[in-house]
Structures are given as structure tokens and as C-alpha cells.
Structure 1
């Protein structure tokens, strides 16, 4: 059963036959605003009930002043005097965001059992009831939460738990938010102190020298984290901003105007593999550990002949391979976006390999069993593919790029290019590779259904791997 706190004479003292309001000024406030250690106000009444009412009115004002001084919006205390005619004027205020959700059920029960009926009084009562039950370290932590003085990562795990991110993206977001948290620790900043100016300072000091793609990832992680906290009431959004803006991180990335293209200038963009690069990877002697050759080449060939993403291939379950009258189909049930769930016909040249891999397996066994037990099959494969590719000299690194212009995703680009060159409709190609239809194209993006099984299979079969180059005599 919750313990009800006794507030009958809280902040009150009786001198003669008059009640006085007596409240200590917090040390952080005294450091900023010169003034007495205690506030003493004659309440001009001998009635305890009236004294409590007047005490509560004054306490509401002093709490607002204490907070404003700590947050830099006020430099000195304005100690009110009680006037029996009018009393102190209490301006309408909304409760701080950090207060909402900071109290336990027991504290709220204590508040509801108090005589106070004002919303702010109930919260204060509950906070004090909660604090009285705590040890000093716990009390300080509680007061920090109450005032929003918590570390940046305080709500991070709660955000990640509800965000529904892929494991790799979740790990990336955690790392990026923690990077900002470490910077704030160095600057001695807590969550309540992060405003647009300090966010801009972080961008200037840490992000501006990074590649724009990297900048974008950092800002996306922080923006989404702040949106979550704003929705849950852990941070306040300034007037004029909406919760979904991601303030203070919105519009922090400076837009750069496109540069004039001069003669001979090379457009830098990630590209498909060339046929020569594909042939080199498939037909050259495997340069890594021999035990990995089979799975490395099998996964790569599936990507070349289906346009599937790396993560989609390496996490394929046996039950996602359907056999319809001898024709195999990958029935993908999950992926990067809603369009990733799709049916992709298995290219005829891959059927023997896939059937061999199906033997002795069932259900949710991985088709590419060599990657089973890995923390992240996609990361494991991706790192080995990079070593394989670079060992054979398949790379395209430019001065202004952060990574090679060819990578595993180039296989997806190669398939798309080859299907187009074979005359396949773009709408069918989009259905095969899992791209959302163009909603601007009303006919195909809104009215038309997806490509038929026959159309998708024809698209896949139209792509042919390059032949091994003939040996020179």
C-alpha cells in the first residue's frame, strides 16, 4: 500500500499567531542569482487552511523562478509579498515535458490522496512523495529526470525497441546517437540543454568534414530519435515547430548548389559491374579460403540473375523456395521496404545449384547454410565479398568518393541494366527487383496490377551471364 506523504505544514512555520512561508533556495540557483538562502514571507493569517492555500500559490511561483534561473531565462529572484486582497499572481504555465511519465504509480497514488486539487500541486506532491522514499543517489537521479537533466542516451533503448529497424540499421543508429552523447558528455551538456544552436555546433565541429552521405545518416538518426522523444514528452518542441520536424536537427544539412560541368569532367556515381568484371569474379581462381568459394560465388550468381539485394539472398529460408511444377520461385516475405516482399523466379541456370542446396533441409534452415550461426550473415558475406573483389582488382575508387563505385549492389544494377537492354518493360523489372511503382504514372502506378508470373520469369531469363573470355594463343 503506498505511503501518503504528510504535507500539512510543508514550507510553513508559525511565528506568534501568524503563519509564514519558508523555503530554501537551491544552491544552483544561489550561484546564479544573488540573494538569501531562504525565502521568508508573512502569510498574514492564523488559519492553517488559508495558510496552506497561500503557501501553494507562492510555491508555484518560486518553482517557476527557480527553473527559469537554472535555464538562463532569469537572472534574479523576484520574491513575492503576500497581499490579502489579491495574493500573488500565478501565470498560466504548462507542465515541463520531463515531469510527464517520471513518477511511479505509488507516487501518483500519494498525490491523488492529497488534499490538493490543482494539477501542478498534485505533481509536486507526487514528486516529493517519491523523493522521500529514495536514497540520496536515487533522489538526485529522480530530480535530474524531473528537470530534464539526463544524458542524451537516456531514452535510446526505448526508441530502438519501438522503431522496428533492421538489425544492421539499429546498430548503426545506436552508434550514431551514442557518438553525439559522448560529444555532449565532453561539453557537459544534458538533454534539456540541447537546442538548435548546440545542435548546429555539433554539426559544425563533427559532421561538416564528413561525406554528405555520412552526414545524412548522422542527422537522420538524431532527427528520428528526437521525434520519438518529442512524441513521448521527453523533450519540448518550441512554438512554431511540429513534433515530426525532428527539431533541433531539421534543416541542419547545408544544401550545396550543383557545380558547373566542364568538358572532360567525369560524373561520379556508383555503377553496375562491367561484363569483364563479372567474368573476372565468376571465372578467376578464388583468392580467399577455398571453403568459402562455393557460397561466395553462389550468392553472387543469384544477385546477378535476379537483382535481389545481398541481405535478401543470404537470409533466404528453405521454405521461401517454392516448387511449382518443376519451376522454382523465391517467395520473399520480408526486406528493406514493403515492395521487397515479392516473388522472384529462379533463373534456369541456377536451378541445379538451388536444388542441391535444398537437400536435407526444411523450414527455416538457411538456403546458404554456410552463413548460419553468424551474428549478421549479410555483414559477414559483405566483408568477404569486398576482400574477394579487391583481391582480383575489381574496384573503382575515385578521389571524391568515400568508397568504390562498384560493390555488391553493382550486381543488382547489372541485372537491371541487362534486363533493360533485353527489351524488358521497366514496370516488370521494378516488380522483379522490388521497387515501388511510380505513383505519378497513374496507369501503371495506380491502376495496373503487378507483372504476371510469366512476365517476371521472362524478365529473369532474359539476363545471361557473360561467357568466359577465350584464352589468347
Structure 2
């Protein structure tokens, strides 16, 4: 308990050296339990432990009241069933006789149990869980989101939540047991999403999220599921349909720079950072003031884990001489304004997936739509990345050096993954300085 912070002792009374929970019951619970006042020992004299016991008991009472009033959710029913099943199974184990002459029915009257307890009693003998109490998609999703076993990005949580909701919507249900999902339902879901205009890559991402929820339920929550994840093994082959971004020409970059030369803040710096660093738009928009650092005397943008696309994206990118003074001035202004982010405009973006870049991606698309010809090319902010990589490789720098600057898969051996920290920052800066407009063809 924090020092000076009074304990919340509501519904707790001390008797001797032990805390008791004492609470007046609602009419529904009073009728069910046959008493108006609940008095139960916490079996401890420690107030913190007593508070935890009381909180759990109050949650259990609330679940019981919701069930009795016909308002309990599937998750509450599953919880009540699981608790009843474990209690009855323990009782059955305690009275089990060697010759089988005594069983649970000899000490229990099933007619005095509520319907959920009766279902649990039948399961003790049949070893089968009724479908009404099987783990649901929303229940598994909630546990997956809250599980401390794996750290997940906010955007991943948001995407998987959407995948679950879309799948349930496709079936016309609010929720359903995982065990009820079939491959036909999944195939129909895929077909519907593609007909609705979703790309194969997007649908593949949905299936990946749903598959992750299934695996979590099976291996972490130990839910007995069929041997075969229904969300795996669907031949979408999304990458075969994805066209890589074309690089910009010198005229493209000059036109973009000219169109933004009167702009300020992120609208001026973002295209120039994209060209001179090859960094992804989301990485740049997510930069904080603490991400402008020096490494071996070289000023860098630090792309930290969780902000990049994957673990390989974690890196420190040297600042090109053409943008270093601009970035340091922006840093000074952001610090003076008390902003956590290098670009306060991006920091003010408040999305459920925590992304900072989509607003500025849309802005850039509108900008290029007015300033550069498409002519069948696939261009976007990512074209800066393609352009930077092409220039560095074309200038004779080795691929292993370039990937440390841009954050692609590094192809290291196991020993290098553990011990190698990459080329020195002078070498990285030399590669970055090769990025020049004159290196591009017209």
C-alpha cells in the first residue's frame, strides 16, 4: 500500500485478527442465497490481501446477479460455468471411492443447483463442455489484448479487433464460440471482403490476426479446439499482386520541393526528410524530440522499436547535411513549445490505432496528384525510400551498409544478430550524403 494512502476498507469489518466481508445483498441475490446480509471471512489479517479478496467476491456477486436477472454476457456465463465445474470436479475427486460405490450425486441434489451449475455437473461426468460455455471470439480477443506474455503494438491490437468484428459481422452474430468456426465460413468471409473491394493483402492481414487469436486461445488459454486452425492455409498469395513503388525522377523531387517551399513545419520538412533519409512516413511522423541524437559525433534520427515496421526497422539514420540544420531548428522549436513530438502537428493526431502518419500520407497524395505526372507509375511517399536506396546502391555502397541505414532485413548470421552493431556512423553518413538530386536522371 502506498505510504500515506488510506486503504479502501468498504464492506470490510475486523473480527479479532481477521477481516470479514460484510455486505447487504440485493433482493435478487438475497432470494437466491436465502439471506439478506453476506458475511464471509477473508481468512487474513492483511488489509491489502483482504481488499483483493473482497474485490473478487464483489465481481463474482455482480456476475451472479446478472445471471439471475437474465442480463449476463456470454463471458460472465462462461466464468460462472468454469468456476462451478472446477468446484464440482474437486468435490468429486475428494469423495471418490476405490470401488466406485460413492459419487458426487450421493452428496448433491441437482434440483437445488442453478441451471449453469447443473450444466457443470453434467460436464463433470460427460467430460464435454456445452457450446454455450465455450470460449468465444470476443473472450479470446480480450485475453489476447491483455496478455502480458507478448508486447504488441497498439496498431496490431486495433487491426486484430477489426478482423474479429468483421468476421462476426459476416456471420450476422454478435459473438460465437471459436470451436464453431468452420473453413467454409472463413472462405465465405474471404469472398465477401474481396467483393467489398478489400485487397488480397488486407484480407490476408485479417486472417493472420484471426489466426493469432485462435493460437492464443489454444496454447495460452488452453481451450480445446479442433486440430486445424480454420484461418490458416487459404491461398491468397497477396504479394504476387503487390506492385512495388516506382522511384521518383529528379523532376518529380524538384516539383515536390518547389510546391512545398513556402510551407512550414512538417509540411516543409517531411518530403525533404523522406528524400534524404529513405525513412518511412510513419517513422518520421512518430519521431519524438528525444529521437534526435548523436552517435559517434554524428547527428541521427533514431527509429525506435515499436515505431518501425518490424524489428529490423530499429536503427539510427545519419542526418544529411542538407537537412541537419533544418531538423535541429525544428527540434529547438518543438522543445520550446513543450512538445513531446518533433512535429507537434503529428503529435496532436489522435487515432485509435495510435498511428501518426495517415493524415500526412493523404496530404502527400493530394500534393503529388497536382504536381507530378503519374503516367501509369505507382508513386507515393514510399517512392522516396525506393529512390534513396537506388541512389546509395548506384553510388557503389554495399547492400549491407545500405540496409543499416534504411532498416531492411539485414541477413545476419546468428552471431552477428547477437554481437554485430553495424558499420560505424561515419560510413553510414557517407552513404547518406550520396543522396543528391544530381544523382537522379531527369
Matched, 1:185 2:177: no
2:391–2:440 contact (8 Å) kept in structure 1: no
> By how many angstroms is 1:466 displaced?
5.1
- In 2, the alpha carbon distance for the partners of 1:325 and 1:173 equals 40
Indicate whether 1:227 and 2:215 are aligned.
yes
Q: Which runs of 5+ in 2 are unaligned?
A: 1-19, 22-28, 30-75, 98-102, 118-127
Describe the SS at the equivalent of 1:367: coil
Deviations 1:81-102 (A, max 9, x none): xxxxxxxxxxxxxxxxx99976
Q: Which residue of 2 aligns with 1:434?
A: 407
Q: Is the 8 A contact 1:148 1:234 kept in 2?
A: no
Q: Is the Cα–Cα contact under 8 Å of residues 178 and 214 in structure 2 kept in the other structure?
A: no
Larger radius of gyration: 1
| Alignment-derived partner of residue 365 in structure 2 | 386
**Aligned counterparts, 1:228-247, within 5 A:** 228-233=216-221, 235-239=223-227, 241=228, 247=229
How many angstroms does 1:415 deviate by?
Answer: 0.6
**Equivalent of 1:317, from 265, 288, 292?**
288
Which one has the bigger helix percentage?
A: 2
Query: Structure 1 residues 158 and 186, CA, compared in 2 at 3 Å: closer, same or farther?
Result: closer
Residue 252 of structure 2: aligned partner: 277
Aligned residue for 1:328?
Answer: 299
The question of whether the paired residues in 2 share the 8 Å contact of 1:107 and 1:129 is answered with no
TM-score normalised by structure 1 residue count: 0.60
1:107, 1:130 within 8 Å by CA — same for their partners in 2? Answer: no
Residues 1:324 and 1:206: Cα distance change in structure 2 (over 3 Å): closer
Q: Which runs of 5+ in 1 are unaligned?
A: 4-97, 136-142, 242-246, 260-266, 399-404
Shift of 1:465: 3.1
In the TM superposition, what whole-angstrom CA distance separates every residue of 1:366-411 from its partner, at most 9, and x where no partner exists? Answer: 112222221142122222222222232454657xxxxxx2111111
> What is the match of residue 202 of structure 1?
189
Contact 1:148/1:191 (CA < 8 Å) preserved in 2? no
Residue number in structure 2 paired with 1:463: 435
Q: Distance between the aligned counterparts of 2:409 and 2:231, measured in 1?
A: 28
Q: Offset of 1:248 from its aligned partner?
A: 0.6
- Note if contact 2:392-2:435 (Cα within 8 Å) is conserved in structure 1: yes
Aligned to 2:270: 299
Match of 2:381 in 1: 408
Give TM-score scaled by structure 2 length.
0.63
- Secondary structure of the residue that 1:343 maps to in structure 2? strand
1:17 aligns with: none
In 2: Cα distance, 1:165 partner to 1:385 partner: 29
SS in 1 for 2:143: helix
Hey, what does 2:51 align to over in structure 1?
none
Using CA pairs under 8 Å that are at least 6 residues apart, name the structure with larger relative contact order, 1 or 2: 2
Counterpart CA distance in 2 for 1:293 and 1:467 is 27
Partner residue of 1:248 out of 219, 223, 230: 230
Q: After superposition, where does 1:105-254 map in structure 2 within 5 Å?
A: 108=86, 112=90, 115-117=94-96, 132=114, 147-148=132-133, 152-162=137-147, 164-185=151-172, 190-207=177-194, 210-233=198-221, 235-239=223-227, 241=228, 247-254=229-236
Change (3 A) 1:432 1:177: same
Tell me if the contact between 1:396 and 1:406 (Cα under 8 Å) persists in the aligned partners: no
How far is the alpha carbon of 1:187 from its aligned partner? Answer: 11
Q: Give the 3 Å change call, closer, same or farther, for CA 134–394 of structure 1 in structure 2.
A: farther
Q: CA RMSD of the aligned region, Å?
A: 4.5
